């Protein structure tokens, strides 16, 4: 592992500006790391080394001309859900076989305009549907983490499993990710990385492959809270091409990092203490509470009574929206086509061959709950429950500034361990889904290790458009947790 792949994004930014190393050098170091490490991890499904070096050259020119932009020369990985002009984009689905966009997503456009370098496209669950990165057409992502004394492959979480594994294994300085029900925060927690899902509307969804449009939101996955603040600043902003993006100024998230805890009220929602939750999660949570209390926070018990209904409501709303969003994959406009006798049969054959089992399951559930006679009983009911979930949060935020919860109900599990039962897999997102259902920002911060020696994360949730609070309090947790151990490099071919 090279020194240049082991530094934080913030350190890289400083080093590049001080000309301690060039954009080309740090990019090449990451290309080498991908070449030796990706076969074992399967984090990248399309490395783009030539493009990366070409961009790095431009970055070096900018730096030498003293025209460095905010992310000049910073090598990043891009989740394959983001459309990248002239670079294959598949959402890890066979149905988008070979799809090469003729346009760039707004978020990646913002990153390239800020000088960032794309190392390649990252693996994810198919159409971001999964919590373990076991539904990708391109195969499973393997976590760089292993249980102590075991070589059994663990999942990196999902759906942004490739992003989390690549950041954790030092195959990029940071990565883009998306979060519909926890797909940034859950993999971040399972791989010891930082993942923030900003408020719905903070980042443009234009050019991001749609899963569930009222829940989808993109964000960064990084190794430090500071790095997440730097990346999110560039990714955010109003976009006329996404009518749900909000026209609000983007705050200086870096400035929020040094705010400290003095005078802040932290809510502890009692409903996040679930039956059968492992002891170590409870212990971690208590530890988090102590850290914030000792830094001067006032700890207040709050109640979010509809918490337990967030996940079942999500599994009506998200599949319903997915079933209509995925209707566009018809074998006519892009990707795969499997011929049939007539056009209907061609649709059916194409979609049968192109979608994997989890995607089919969700499209069918969505079709069922939206079908005649069931709309009121399912979709409308779920949207009403959603109003109540959001109301719970609004009432809590009358009393507190931020909520502290566990990020996941447990540490990383082994491949195949939970893929037999859909509901058991869905339960992984039990602590992350409520923020999506309410549009609120949430962040997962590495806070400790499990009894198995694998990472665990704590989650913070704040008021809408108050990501600054997440960075402020997140930094306090990060500092209190100190330097956590990191996965030992078993994946590089030497």
8 vs 100 by CB, closer to other proteins: 100
Geometric angle at alpha carbon 133, from 131 and 134, rounded to 5°:
105
Selected range binding other proteins among 179-187, 274-282, 288-296, 305-313, rule: CB under 8 A: 305-313
Q: Which of 124, 307, 138, 291 is nearest to 218 (CA)?
A: 124
77 vs 201 by CB, closer to other proteins: 201
231-242 burial: b if 16+ Cβ within 10 Å, else e: bbbbbbbebeeb
Active-site residue among 92, 136, 160, 183?
A: 183
320 binds other proteins (CB under 8 A): no
98 vs 296 by CB, closer to other proteins: 98
Return the structure tokens found at 251.
């705050």
Q: Are the beta carbons of 309 and 389 closer than 8 angstroms? A: yes
Say how far apart CA 19 and CA 458 lie, in whole Å.
36
Q: Please report how close the Cβ of residue 122 comes to other proteins at its closest, in angstroms.
A: 21
Say how far apart CA 350 and CA 330 lie, in whole Å.
7
CA-CA-CA-CA dihedral for 315, 316, 318, 322, to nearest 10: 120
Q: Are the beta carbons of 21 and 4 closer than 8 angstroms? A: yes
Q: Please report how close the Cβ of residue 364 comes to other proteins at its closest, in angstroms.
A: 5
Annotation marks residue 24 as catalytic:
no
315 binds other proteins (CB under 8 A): yes
Per CB under 8 A, the list member of 141, 292, 316, 407 interacting with other proteins is 316
367 binds other proteins (CB under 8 A): yes
292 vs 311 by CB, closer to other proteins: 311
261 vs 425 by CB, closer to other proteins: 425
Q: Are the beta carbons of 468 and 264 closer than 8 angstroms? A: no
181 binds other proteins (CB under 8 A): no
14 binds other proteins (CB under 8 A): no
249 binds other proteins (CB under 8 A): no
Per CB under 8 A, the list member of 139, 263, 296, 312 interacting with other proteins is 312
337 binds other proteins (CB under 8 A): yes
Per CB under 8 A, the list member of 47, 156, 174, 331 interacting with other proteins is 331
Mutual orientation of helices 49-64 and 23-41 as an angle, nearest 10°?
Answer: 160
464 binds other proteins (CB under 8 A): yes
Beta bridge partners of 267: 300, 403
Annotation marks residue 8 as catalytic:
no
| Beta strands at 265-269 and 117-122: parallel, antiparallel or unpaired | unpaired
76 vs 91 by CB, closer to other proteins: 91
Ramachandran class of 30: left when φ > 0, alpha when ψ lies in -120 to 50, beta otherwise: alpha
Q: Under rule CB under 8 A, which residues in 197-236 are in contact with other proteins? A: 199-201, 214
Active-site residue among 159, 236, 419, 450?
A: 159
Q: Are the beta carbons of 132 and 413 closer than 8 angstroms? A: yes
Q: Under rule CB under 8 A, which residues in 345-364 are in contact with other proteins? A: 345-349, 351-352, 355, 360-361, 363-364
Which DSSP helix (H) or strand (E) runs through 435? helix 433-438
Annotation marks residue 213 as catalytic:
no
206 vs 491 by CB, closer to other proteins: 206
147 vs 390 by CB, closer to other proteins: 390
152 vs 327 by CB, closer to other proteins: 327
Selected range binding other proteins among 146-154, 258-266, 406-414, 431-439, rule: CB under 8 A: 431-439
Q: What's the Cα-to-Cα distance from 297 to each of 233, 261, 264, 300, rounded to whole Å?
A: 26, 5, 5, 9
370-401 burial: b if 16+ Cβ within 10 Å, else e: beeeeeeebbeebeebbeebbebbeebbeebb
342 binds other proteins (CB under 8 A): yes
Binding mask 409-428 toward other proteins (x if CB under 8 A, else -) reads ------------xxx-----
3-state SS assignment for residue 64: helix
373 binds other proteins (CB under 8 A): no
Per CB under 8 A, the list member of 18, 65, 149, 247 interacting with other proteins is 247
309 binds other proteins (CB under 8 A): yes
Selected range binding other proteins among 37-45, 149-157, 261-269, 382-390, rule: CB under 8 A: 382-390
> The sheet that has 44-47: what strands, in order across it?
44-47, 117-122, 75-79, 174-179, 217-222, 194-197, 442-449, 455-462, 402-406, 265-269, 298-302
Q: Scan for tokens 């409501």, then name that residue.
A: 313
Tell me, by CB under 8 A, how many residues bind other proteins: 70
Q: Which of 116, 68, 131 is nearest to 227 (CA)?
A: 116
131 binds other proteins (CB under 8 A): no
Per CB under 8 A, the list member of 1, 246, 274, 480 interacting with other proteins is 246
Residues forming the active site: 79, 159, 183
Which residues of the chain form contacts with other proteins (CB under 8 A)?
98-100, 102-103, 199-201, 214, 240, 243-244, 246-247, 306, 308-309, 312-313, 315-316, 323, 327, 330-337, 339-340, 342-349, 351-352, 355, 360-361, 363-365, 367-368, 371, 378, 380-388, 390, 421-423, 437-439, 464
């Amino acid at each position: 592992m090279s020194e240049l792949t082991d530094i934080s994004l913030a350190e890289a930014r400083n080093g590049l500006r001080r000309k301690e190393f060039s954009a080309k050098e740090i990019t090449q170091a990451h290309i080498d790391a991908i070449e030796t490490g990706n076969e074992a991890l399967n984090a990248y499904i399309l490395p783009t080394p030539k493009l990366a070096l070409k961009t790095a050259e431009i970055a070096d020119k900018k730096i030498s001309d003293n025209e460095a932009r905010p992310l000049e020369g910073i090598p990043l990985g891009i989740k394959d859900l983001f459309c990248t002009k002239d670079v294959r984009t598949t959402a890890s689905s066979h149905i988008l076989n070979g799809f090469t966009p003729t346009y760039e997503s707004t978020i990646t456009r913002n990153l390239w305009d800020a000088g960032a370098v794309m190392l390649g496209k990252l693996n994810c669950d198919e159409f971001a549907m999964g919590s373990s990165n076991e539904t990708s057409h391109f195969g499973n992502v393997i976590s760089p983490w292993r249980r102590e004394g075991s070589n059994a492959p663990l999942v990196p979480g999902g759906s942004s499993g490739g992003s989390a594994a690549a950041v954790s294994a030092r195959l990029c300085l940071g990565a883009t990710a998306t979060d519909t029900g926890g797909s940034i925060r859950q993999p971040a927690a399972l791989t010891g990385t930082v993942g923030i899902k900003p408020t719905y509307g903070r980042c443009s969804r234009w050019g991001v492959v749609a899963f569930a449009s009222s829940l989808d939101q993109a964000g960064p996955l990084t190794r430090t809270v500071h790095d997440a603040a730097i990346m999110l600043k560039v990714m955010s902003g109003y976009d006329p091409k996404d009518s749900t993006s909000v026209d609000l100024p983007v705050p200086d998230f870096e400035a929020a990092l040094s705010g400290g805890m003095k005078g802040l009220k932290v809510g502890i929602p009692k409903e996040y203490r679930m039956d059968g939750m492992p002891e170590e999660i409870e212990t971690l949570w208590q530890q988090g509470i102590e850290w914030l209390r000792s830094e001067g926070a006032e700890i207040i018990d709050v109640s979010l009574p509809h918490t337990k209904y967030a996940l079942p409501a999500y599994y009506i709303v998200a599949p319903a929206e997915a079933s209509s969003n995925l209707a566009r994959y018809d074998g006519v406009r892009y990707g795969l086509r499997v011929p049939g006798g007539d056009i209907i049969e061609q649709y059916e054959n194409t979609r049968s061959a192109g979608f994997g089992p989890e995607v089919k399951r969700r499209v069918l559930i969505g079709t069922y709950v939206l079908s005649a006679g069931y709309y009121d009983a399912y979709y409308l009911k779920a949207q009403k429950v959603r109003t109540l979930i959001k109301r719970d949060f609004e009432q809590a935020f009358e009393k507190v500034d931020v909520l502290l919860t566990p990020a996941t109900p447990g540490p990383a599990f082994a491949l195949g361990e939970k893929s037999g039962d859909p509901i058991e897999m869905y339960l992984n997102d039990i602590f992350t889904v409520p923020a999506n259902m309410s549009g609120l920002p949430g962040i997962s911060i590495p806070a400790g290790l499990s009894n198995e020696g694998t990472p665990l994360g704590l989650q913070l949730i704040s008021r809408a458009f108050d990501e600054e609070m997440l960075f402020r309090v997140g930094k306090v947790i990060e500092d209190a947790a100190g330097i956590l151990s990191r996965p030992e490099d078993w994946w590089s071919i030497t």
